[in-house]
Structure 1
Amino acid sequence: MGELVERVDERDEVLAVVDRGEAIRQGWLHRIATIVCRDADGRILVHRRPDDASLFPGQFNWMLGGAVGIAESYEDAAARELTEELGVRGRPQFVFKFLCAGAISPYWLGLHEVVVTEPARPDPSEIAWHDWLTELELIDLARHQEFVPDAREAFGRYRALPQHIVR
C-alpha cells in the first residue's frame, strides 16, 4: 500500500483512510497542503519540477506542498512539506482553502504563507530550479510558461484576496 490519506467529503469531513493512489484513481476528495514562500522583500519562490517527476514534469509552480497525512492538520502538513521540499523550518500561516477540481483528481487545497529567512536547500527530487520573483514577474511567467494547472487556479484565487495586493 502507498501513501495513506483521509478521504473527505464536500464539507472536508473525514470519511475514511484510503491509499492516495486509489483516491486519485477513484476521484475521491482528499486534502493537500500548499505553501507560498516569500522572502524578506515580499518576492515569491517559484520553482520548476524535475523533468522526471511523475506528475507535471518540467512545469512551473509557485507553491510547495503535498498530501495531508492521517490526523494531520493542514498547518502541520504545510510545515512538514516546507522542511521536506525546501529544507527550511517555519510555521506557515493558513490563508484559505478551496475545493479544487484538480487536473488529475479533485481535492481540498489548503494554501499557507511563510516568510523564508534562511537559505533554501531544495530537494532535487521535487525542485529542479527555483528563483524569487515579484508578483508582477510571476504573473508574466504564468502567462508564458507551462504551469501546473491547479497552481494557476490557486494563483487567481490568491490574487483576488483583498489583502494580497500585487507588489
Structure 2
Amino acid sequence: MGELVERVDERDHVVAVVDRAQAIRERWPHRVATIVCRDGDGRILVHRRPDDASRFPGRFNWMLGGAVDVGESYEEAAARELAEELGVHAVPRFVLKFLCDGAISPYWLGLHEAVVTAPVRPDPGEVAWFDWLTEPELEELVRRAEFVPDAREAFDRHRALGRLLAHEE
C-alpha cells in the first residue's frame, strides 16, 4: 500500500483510511494542506514545478503543500510541507478551507499563510524555480495557462475572502 490518507465526506468528516492513489482513481475526497509564503515586504513566493513532477509538471503555483497524513491536522500538515519543500520552520496561520473539485481528484483544500524571513532551501524535486512576487504580479501570472488550475481557484477564493473581510471593517 502507498501513501495513506483519510477519505472524507462532503462535510470533511473522516469516512475511512485509504491509499491516496485509490482515492484519486475513485475520486474520493481526501485532505490537502497548502501554505502561502510571504516575505517581510508582503511579497508572495511563487514557484514552478519540475518538468518531471508527477502532478502539474512545469506549472506555476503560489501554494506549497500536499496530502494531510492520517491523524494529522491541516495546520500540522502545512508546517510539515513547508519544512519538506522549502526547508523552513514556521507556524502557519489558517486562512480558509473548501471542497475543491480538483483537476485530478476532489479534495478538501486547507489554505494557510506564513511569513518567511529565513532563507529558503527549496527541494528540487518539488520546486524547479521560485521568486517573490507582488500581488499585482501574481494576479497577472495566475491568469496564464501555465498556472495550476486548482491553485487559480484557491487564489480567487482567497481574494474574495480578502475583499469580504476588508468590506466588513
Residues 55-134 of structure 1: pairs in structure 2 closer than 5 A: 55-134=55-134
The equivalent of 2:154 in structure 1 is: 154
Gaps of 5+ in 1: none
User: Compared with structure 1, are the counterparts of its residues 45 and 52 closer, same or farther at alpha carbon in structure 2 (3 Å cutoff)?
Assistant: same
For this pair of structures, how many residues does the alignment match? 165
The letter of the residue matching 1:40 is: G
Q: Deviations over 1:80-118 (max 9, x none)?
A: 000000100001010010000000100000000000010
The letter of the residue matching 1:92 is: P
**C-alpha deviation, 1:143, in angstroms:** 2.1
Contact 1:82–1:88, Cα closer than 8 Å, also in 2:
yes
Identical aligned residues as a percent: 76
Give me the CA root mean square deviation. Answer: 1.2
> For the residues of structure 2 that align with 1:9 and 1:47, how far apart are their CA atoms?
31
**C-alpha deviation, 1:164, in angstroms:** 7.3
**C-alpha deviation, 1:142, in angstroms:** 1.7
Large movers: runs of 4+ above 2 Å: 162-165
> For the residues of structure 2 that align with 1:22 and 1:88, how far apart are their CA atoms?
31
> For the residues of structure 1 that align with 2:122 and 2:31, how far apart are their CA atoms?
23
> For the residues of structure 2 that align with 1:107 and 1:20, how far apart are their CA atoms?
11
**C-alpha deviation, 1:141, in angstroms:** 1.4
Gaps of 5+ in 2: none
**C-alpha deviation, 1:145, in angstroms:** 4.8
The equivalent of 1:3 in structure 2 is: 3
